[in-house]
Structure 1
Amino acid sequence: MPDLSTLGRRVRHFRTEAGLTLEQLGRDVDVAPSQLSLIENGRREPRLTLLSALAERLDVTVGDLLDAAPPSPRAALEIELEHAQEGAAYRELGLPELRATRGMPDDVLRTLVGLHRELDRRARQAIATPEEARRANTRQRLRMQSLDNHVPAIESLASEDVAAVGHAGGALTHRTVSLMAARLGLKIVHADDLPHSARCVLDLENGRIYIPPASIPGGHGLRSLALQAMAHIRLGHGEPTSYADFLRQRQDASYYAAACLMPEEPAVAFLERAKRERDIAIEDFRDAFGVTHEAAALRFSNLATIHLGMRLHFLRAAGDGAVVRAYENDGLPLPVDVTGATEGQLVCRHWSARRAFARSTRTTEYFQYTDTPAGTFFEATQTGATEAEEFSITIGVPYSDSKWFRGRETQNHEVSRCPDLSCCRRPDADEASRWAGRAWASARVHAHIFSPLPRGTYPGIDDRELYAFLDAHADDSQ
């Protein structure tokens, strides 16, 4: 069904083509002209019997009337103007509705629609203010917590897609990913001139997924990038309408990629076997499927509660202790700000996520028990580094589930009183008094704090650079 505005204009279009007035058509179908006017103006929905009578009198089919396409370019502009003025952004201005009259010139109509498009573009650019972004992150984290970080619909879709290309088990190869892309009419192309703000680019018009020529720092493997691009098609994503929508799409695409790289059935079988042997280790899970440690830890968080009956938490922390990504359904008291967001907050100095950095040898996982106000947790942490910074990846469970994990015999034990400021954030009173007014330090400031992200259709992506890249490659023969 078209919306009422389109339906009404199609009725009007065919009525004027037939050379009929409202009065003449109304008399022929036994409906008052005022009622027909309401239908043509999108203010009333006609019954099917009336639609059939209108179609018969106008010598068209009911399908012609119900076509969702505007009957003319002029009608398309009128409909767009009408919808724009129905939006919340326009209503907030408190301005009166301006209807496109028959006498309104086309250039005036195009100007009005163009203004609304620009207002909408600017509004979408402004949706990701720091506060709104943090609140959206919080809502997304709580949404996944309510689902135990498990999305059955995406699991089923990923398993179906992997099986469709004949993948029988083990690590998903680059060739297998290419076959999955081919099923969607896509070709994976390596490009060394990707927009600096983009990790990958999906060109739907020419059927290409552009990814870097080599693995990029930060654990984003090329297979995962290509799979995330395919996910936007398989999950039916459109342009995000809000920052929250953007976050949901990005997380669902990442989930799909992880579920393809580590399909549910073999991944669960691997973990159940490790649990029976009381030897669960993220490093083994990682190596079995040929993914990064972070990918394996995140995938474990998708499956542990639903399939293994374990509550858990996941943390990625930067070298300075700031939370980059977090999830918990085991009650761990994550550090949060007034909006409820945890990203950017500092992890307690006594947690495994920070204690692991103190080791001189970091090639293996670091294990630790941590007492917190919410109970005792067992944690396994692996550290790593990118060109920009160090980071740690932590998976933790309540003490009662530590018996299933490798490393449970560790003697490392810490006590955390956070969020109590006296735990690790408030300086010692004697030291503070000793150095008050006697020292000064220059903070290490990250340049990105002062550099706003490019603003475009997709948060963080420079539209001009993106479209220039697509144009430059549109005629490539590869």
Structure 2
Amino acid sequence: MTSATWDRGLALAPAGSDGTDELDAIALGRRIRHLRKSRSLTLDDVSAAVSLAPSALSMLENGKREPKLAQLKALAACFEVPVDELLGTEPPSRRAALEIQLERAQRGPLYQALGLPTVRVGSRLPMDVLESLVGLQNELERRLNEQAATPEEARRANTSLRHEMRQRNNYYREIEQEAARVLAAVGHSGGPLSQHKAADIAEHLGFSLHYVGNLPHSTRSVTDLKNHRIYLTQVSRADHDPRSVLLQALGHYVLGHQTPQSYAEFLSQRVATNYFAAALMMPEKETAAFLHRAKDERELAVEDLRDAFAVSYESAAHRFTNLATEHLGITCHFQKVHESGILHKAYENDGVNFPADHTGAIEGQSICRYWTSRVVFDVQDKFRSFEQYTDTIKGTYWCTARTERHSSGLYSLSIGVPFEHVKYFRGRDTKERCQSKCPDESCCRRPPAQLSELWSGNAWPATRANTHLLAAMPTGAFPGVDETEVYRFLQDQSG
């Protein structure tokens, strides 16, 4: 048995996020059972000694219940061992270690996702069967771990990051403070951040800017940390604000990012630099004051924020989610939905029921056709924002949405709030209203009965093959970037 295997038998799990140790009920239960049997005691014997029902003691031994401190002390006294021995760092036997591993595996999401029956882990389970089951589980986990940077991994990373954003109300104080220090250093006095002032920020941080026509095709910018140069390209595409591209590149430097070791870390860094750029173009102090005035006047509108700071509607919508809860006490949600109805990105801390798969991932899911983010595609007036009330299974939400065209198609961008907050927004007097029963399939996923009767079995659509859905995520520390191409580019420039 390797040390790594023995580590899985610790009675104390790794420290949690709050810095405290978490009790491992499975390992503790196996140790209690081992001590009881090694002393030829029955459940009834121990139960009487510690004033605990035999059924409760059995649940402790099976890891289905955590003991109280008083019960731990009573058990230790019964077995005539220190409490620390009950919480030992090593399983009492090889069999106990294997039983602990199998119990943990069967209670984990991987085993449960297989839909297999649970094996009763008891003394009657033959040792060779126990070893085979544990070996199969370990090999399955190993093979899954080898599939690095798969779309599944990306969805898991996105889901984890979205949970973190929700817990923080999408507000990152440490990034706000870094952005404020940079703006103060260059003397930004307010109003939209000009490209000239963005260049001043680069100069203040010790970087020179170089516009080139041969930037590696997989990049938007390349930073030469050796010579403190940032290489950019002048393009006509409106997908990316040139200020944002530069400020994101500087964000990696200011925030002290190192080469990412996983896709999750890469994604987290990308979100942080996007946030940093937004905090520079829409400073917290000014933006919060702007939003407070609009709230007091009951005229909150994302397009006003867009116009006040000369940014895109999408950037303004994202920035609103950063500050709405922290400064205004308003919970909200954001969606970016493709014209096909597929959810591209989203955020929520208001309880809205985004569609999700069994892992909690929402990317790639179809949004209800009665939600504002779908209805807006059929609205003729594209100049003004479209507002709608939607009655959902989670309550009534008011949303404002616009559509914007990108290189990959037409997208809707929407901000929504629970009904209790709508009184602060312009457009609250809209008469548009829809009802959504999703995820009930009868809402919009199942064709109407009359159409089904006419066409079911008589239609064969030629689907558009989305081959990118079958491909693995690009490999490398920076997914999709050809490092050889980047290094050759830098070598040519420095030469």
**What letter matches 1:406 in structure 2?**
R
* Secondary structure of the structure 2 residue equivalent to 1:205: coil
User: How far apart, in 2, do the equivalents of 1:378 and 1:251 lie?
Assistant: 27
**What letter matches 1:418 in structure 2?**
C
Determine which of 366, 386, 390 is the counterpart of 2:406.
386
User: How far apart, in 2, do the equivalents of 1:233 and 1:252 lie?
Assistant: 12
Residues 1:198 and 2:219 are matched in the alignment:
yes
**What letter matches 1:213 in structure 2?**
Q
- 1:404-419 alignment to 2 at 5 Å? 404-419=424-439
Q: CA deviation at 1:191?
A: 2.3
**What letter matches 1:313 in structure 2?**
H
* Secondary structure of the structure 2 residue equivalent to 1:394: strand
Quick check: 1:124–1:242 contact (8 Å CA) kept in 2?
no
**What letter matches 1:148 in structure 2?**
N
Determine which of 446, 449, 469 is the counterpart of 1:449.
469
* Large movers: runs of 4+ above 6 Å: none
Residue identity over aligned pairs, in percent, reads 46
- 1:90-105 alignment to 2 at 5 Å? none
- Matched with 2:183 is 162
Residues 468, 450 of structure 1: CA spacing in aligned structure 2 closer, same or farther, 3 A cutoff? farther
- Matched with 2:276 is 256
Please list the CA deviations of residues 236-259 of structure 1 after superposition, one character each: whole Å capped at 9, or x if unmatched: 100001111111111111111100
**What letter matches 1:287 in structure 2?**
D
Please list the CA deviations of residues 18-40 of structure 1 after superposition, one character each: whole Å capped at 9, or x if unmatched: xxxxxxxxxxxxxxxxxxxxxxx
Quick check: 1:124–1:457 contact (8 Å CA) kept in 2?
no
**What letter matches 2:339 in structure 1?**
G
Point out where structure 2 has 5 or more consecutive residues left out of the alignment.
Answer: 1-143
Quick check: 1:125–1:459 contact (8 Å CA) kept in 2?
no
User: How far apart, in 1, do the equivalents of 2:335 and 2:268 lie?
Assistant: 19
**What letter matches 1:392 in structure 2?**
S
User: How far apart, in 1, do the equivalents of 2:181 and 2:342 lie?
Assistant: 38
User: How far apart, in 2, do the equivalents of 1:379 and 1:215 lie?
Assistant: 32
Residues 1:360 and 2:380 are matched in the alignment:
yes
TM score, norm. by length of structure 2: 0.69
Please list the CA deviations of residues 330-368 of structure 1 after superposition, one character each: whole Å capped at 9, or x if unmatched: 000011111111111111100000100001221111000
TM score, norm. by length of structure 1: 0.71
Please list the CA deviations of residues 72-111 of structure 1 after superposition, one character each: whole Å capped at 9, or x if unmatched: xxxxxxxxxxxxxxxxxxxxxxxxxxxxxxxxxxxxxxxx
Q: CA deviation at 1:127?
A: 2.6
Quick check: 2:385–2:400 contact (8 Å CA) kept in 1?
yes
Q: CA deviation at 1:134?
A: 0.4
**What letter matches 2:371 in structure 1?**
W
User: How far apart, in 2, do the equivalents of 1:367 and 1:236 lie?
Assistant: 41
- Matched with 1:463 is 483
Residues 1:143 and 2:164 are matched in the alignment:
yes
* Secondary structure of the structure 2 residue equivalent to 1:327: strand
User: How far apart, in 1, do the equivalents of 2:320 and 2:396 lie?
Assistant: 20
Determine which of 450, 453, 458 is the counterpart of 1:438.
458
Residues 1:227 and 2:247 are matched in the alignment:
yes
User: How far apart, in 1, do the equivalents of 2:470 and 2:484 lie?
Assistant: 21
- 1:5-404 alignment to 2 at 5 Å? 127-214=148-235, 216-218=237-239, 220-404=240-424
User: How far apart, in 1, do the equivalents of 2:363 and 2:479 lie?
Assistant: 17
Q: CA deviation at 1:192?
A: 2.4
Quick check: 2:342–2:365 contact (8 Å CA) kept in 1?
yes
Aligned residue-pair number: 352
Q: CA deviation at 1:199?
A: 1.8
User: How far apart, in 1, do the equivalents of 2:257 and 2:310 lie?
Assistant: 28
Please list the CA deviations of residues 227-286 of structure 1 after superposition, one character each: whole Å capped at 9, or x if unmatched: 111111111100001111111111111111100010000000100010111101100100
Quick check: 1:188–1:226 contact (8 Å CA) kept in 2?
no
* Secondary structure of the structure 2 residue equivalent to 1:400: helix
Q: CA deviation at 1:410?
A: 0.4
Quick check: 1:282–1:293 contact (8 Å CA) kept in 2?
yes
User: How far apart, in 2, do the equivalents of 1:277 and 1:189 lie?
Assistant: 45
Please list the CA deviations of residues 385-443 of structure 1 after superposition, one character each: whole Å capped at 9, or x if unmatched: 02320001100100111111111110000000111111111112332232123222112
Q: CA deviation at 1:459?
A: 1.4
CA RMSD in angstroms comes to 1.7
**What letter matches 1:445 in structure 2?**
A
User: How far apart, in 1, do the equivalents of 2:235 and 2:206 lie?
Assistant: 23
